Structure 1
Amino acid sequence: LDVTEVALSKVTDEFMAHIRAMGPDWDLDQTTEFLVVAATLLDLKAARLLPAAEVEDEGDLALLEARDLLFARLLQYRAYKQIADIFNARVDEEARRYPRTVGLEPEHAELLPEVVISIGAEGFARLAVKAMQPRPEPRVYVDHIHAPLVSVQEQAAVVVTRLRELGEASFRVLVADTDDTLTVVARFLALLELYREKAVALEQEAALGELLVRWTGGDGAAVPMVTDEFDRPPEQPGPEEETKP
């Protein structure tokens, strides 16, 4: 918060109205704390508004630094008081709970479960061998990654057809028939591919403004080449790549 933007007069008026509303029950400690903070803020604001120049008196600079530190300590003191109030509330709440001091009944304390070992020496040996075998190294599988649901090549054909009909259109118009995010992204990627092939021209007067697309690919029947880079599924890693950490 820029201290020069703090309206101390407004804060003071609201605080005085708060004190008057409390009547004879106003808190002296609260008022004193406000005066200290207000005086510190006033001094800081005055120092910030003065023209920047070389400090002639090092004592004044040290005083300002000391008051900055005082303000930081006041905020820290306020945080400590809030935490102390939370602790006191927790202590009061927990003080109303009493632990159970009696033990188990004799008939329950003397009950012991019957130990049944259903495995012999050979079984223990097999368990030991299994426990001491080295664990396989973790692998990251990509079988759950599916191919894209929307084809960039197909959306490029749709964009080309519309641009040939309209001549030029905004990107908003080119995606007006769909509210699917994947389709919108696919058509944008198709525009980038067409721009790289010099089949369209893109104009945008302002940052984040309306994107105007103009067809420059001629009237030929052939659709400009759009690669299937975005339509190919991710390559499966080889055995050596799977074992890498």
Structure 2
Amino acid sequence: MATPPDAVHGPGAPGDAFEVHLSNFTGPFDLLLSLIAKHRLDITEIALAQVTDEFIAYIRAAERDLGTTSEFLLVAATLLDLKAARLLPAGDVEDAEDLELLEARDLLFARLLQYRAYKQLAGVFAERLDIESRRVPRDVALEPHLAALLPELEWTTSPADLAALAAAALAPKPPPPGVDTTHLHAPTVSVREQAAVVVALLRGPSGDHVGPVSFRTIVAGAATPGVVVARFLALLELFREGVVAFDQVTPLGELTVRWTGATQGEVSVQGDFDDPVAVEAVPGEAVHHG
């Protein structure tokens, strides 16, 4: 079979490329792939077994590398799958299995086109590398009229200056400043002491009930978050003793506390926070009622 005049072998193709000799085609293997891709040659008319035998003889005669063999095996496997898929009758699709075979045929044809594109691109890269390898950079001295424009080097650093710089660079570094950790240890806040403050606030200065007091007011005079927590725990202990009551009109609303215990006398606060102790109202405690 004569080679078509519009066939393209791709850039960088070697002169001793693998050729096939079939009953319906004689020429380079790349040209065979090109004709199959352009639908000018039916894959079902190609004797792939004969192509494989000729390639085996080709690599044995020239002792080709493993890359050439692997490349041919990939293309041959694709052609074999494509030929098997093309043997499916082109009639109506009767079931899902036939549809899958048709989709596989299209996929194999796409793989063949993809291989051809990569091969041509590799040829372009090879040609560019060959051209660029012939380029030689210009390596000459600076021209005299340009060398005359360079300023004279003036060395102004004395040996003493160099010694001072070296001493400063090699001098031991001072240790980093220490970190003060005293702020990490907050003073302990006594729950029983804060309970006395809460009792004095709820009872009032004269012992009569001052009415509901908001929790915000109870912790308003707290100097630290620890005092707020201690007063909250004191309220829980007083509630367990039954001397205070909590009111909250709406969910997440303002929490108010009412004194329900005796107006005078000591209040026993027992808990896990401090030792059991009888708490009295702290006289003279400055509080703000809310």
TM-score under structure 2 normalisation? 0.32
Structure of higher CA gyration radius:
2
Q: Whose RCO is larger (CA < 8 A, sep 6+)? A: 1
| Structure richer in helix, relative to its length | 1
TM-score under structure 1 normalisation? 0.37
